[in-house]
Amino acid sequence: MTRTSVASPANIALIKYWGAVDLERALPLNPSISMTLRECVTVCTAAILPGGGEDLIQIAGADGILADAPGRFARAVAAHLDRLRARAGRDVPIRVATRNTFPTAVGLASSAAGFSALAVAVTRLLGLRLGADELAELARASGSGSAARSVVGGFVEWGMAGSGDSAAIRVLADASHWDLRDVIAIVDETPKDVSSREGHRRAPGSPHYAARSAELPRRLEVVRAAIAARDLAAMGDVIEEEAIELHLIAMSSRPPIFYWGPGTLRVLERVRRLRADGVPAYATMDAGANVHVLCEPAWEADVQAALVELPDVVRVIRDGVGEGPADAPPLF
């Protein structure tokens, strides 16, 4: 195969991965559960460069035009290409181009989408036919652990604590099981200044870390059961607790990390008011200021209408559960 092109999704964590046993290999301290998205994707096109030479790593600008990727991102991609080449046993130069359909580095899992897209596109390009666990392992070897959950669709659990294989992923339910929607309120598009990786590193130093860990076995059970029963209200409180405690731990890490902005609190307040008015919607955030609001399809338009009218909300992305990586039109 001389060229492959794949769209791989971001995901939103219902139970958060926060804290690592091994940061380099992104081995989590606790299991996490996410929902794979369908609109927030990274498109990655990869081709073997004829005639040897260097890799060519490009990124699409807002206008869709490809340009050389900036240094730090290009280095992370090049390191990922090296790992993928080593796995395939093929030392060939590769051209890759990526385009995100959503804002990058603002806590919307752009690294999960990006590194899973690279893993899927490049392994296919190099002729490997891998199962989900192998792909997940390669995706998270980038250092973005949550990328492991983006190689498959639906509702996904990753990282069985205490088991020998803490890299394992498990599809709890396919996308067709439950058409859950995610209305994402964008309140800040400035790239965050502290990476999730640094957040994982500092997390165990928070005085709240142990208290949240003690809650996790129950929360995992609640979320697994709610997914099986397609019952958002049954897991609503738990997913909000998870989001708030992720940020509580970040804010009480040493030194503290503040991912929230004023808009975050206003969206959370609006979601509570929606519920008081009878709209079953629940909020969650990853490591950023922007807020995912989960609801059933029947309530999606009401949720969107309530969020767009908030002055802090720059825009809203309507997303929902997706089926995982898929072929995409090539970028070059």
Nearer to ligand PMV, 18 or 102 (CB): 18
Nearest in space to 42 (alpha carbons), one of 142, 159, 128, 190: 142
Nearer to ligand PMV, 144 or 253 (CB): 144
User: Which backbone phi and psi does 217 adopt, to 5 degrees?
Assistant: -55, -40
Nearer to ligand PMV, 13 or 125 (CB): 13
User: Which backbone phi and psi does 164 adopt, to 5 degrees?
Assistant: -65, -30
Of residues 246-265, which lie at the interface with ligand PMV (CB under 6 A)? 246
Nearer to ligand PMV, 250 or 274 (CB): 250
- The reply to whether 117 sits near ligand PMV by the rule CB under 6 A is no
- The reply to whether 197 sits near ligand PMV by the rule CB under 6 A is yes
Measured distance CA(48)–CA(1) in Å, rounded: 9
- The reply to whether 17 sits near ligand PMV by the rule CB under 6 A is yes
Contact 12, 321 (CB under 8 A): no
CB of 315 to ligand PMV, least distance (A): 21
CB of 247 to ligand PMV, least distance (A): 9
Measured distance CA(212)–CA(184) in Å, rounded: 25
Three-state SS at 261: coil
The contact pattern for ligand PMV, residues 264-303, with x = CB under 6 A and - = no contact, is: ----------------------xx----------------
The HSE-up count of residue 1 (CA atoms within 13 Å, CB side) is: 16
Position among 9, 114, 145, 153 found at the interface with ligand PMV (CB under 6 A): 145
Q: Which stretch binds ligand PMV (CB under 6 A): 13-21, 92-100, 124-132, 159-167?
A: 13-21
Nearer to ligand PMV, 18 or 178 (CB): 18
The HSE-up count of residue 294 (CA atoms within 13 Å, CB side) is: 29
Position among 5, 8, 100, 146 found at the interface with ligand PMV (CB under 6 A): 146
Contact 271, 282 (CB under 8 A): yes
| E strand map for the chain | 3-15, 20-22, 27-28, 32-48, 56-60, 66-68, 94-100, 155-158, 169-173, 181-186, 282-284, 291-295, 315-320, 326-327
H/E stretch holding 27 reads strand 27-28
CB of 145 to ligand PMV, least distance (A): 4
Measured distance CA(81)–CA(84) in Å, rounded: 5
With contacts defined by CB under 6 A, how many residues of the chain interact with ligand PMV? 16
Nearest in space to 42 (alpha carbons), one of 78, 5, 74: 5
Nearer to ligand PMV, 12 or 125 (CB): 12
CB of 154 to ligand PMV, least distance (A): 16
Nearest in space to 96 (alpha carbons), one of 131, 54, 58: 58
CB of 287 to ligand PMV, least distance (A): 4
Of residues 201-240, which lie at the interface with ligand PMV (CB under 6 A)? none
Token pair recorded at residue 257 = 């990390």
Sequence letter at residue 17: Y
Nearer to ligand PMV, 105 or 173 (CB): 105
Name the site residues for ligand PMV (rule: CB under 6 A).
13, 16-18, 32, 109, 111-112, 144-146, 196-197, 246, 286-287
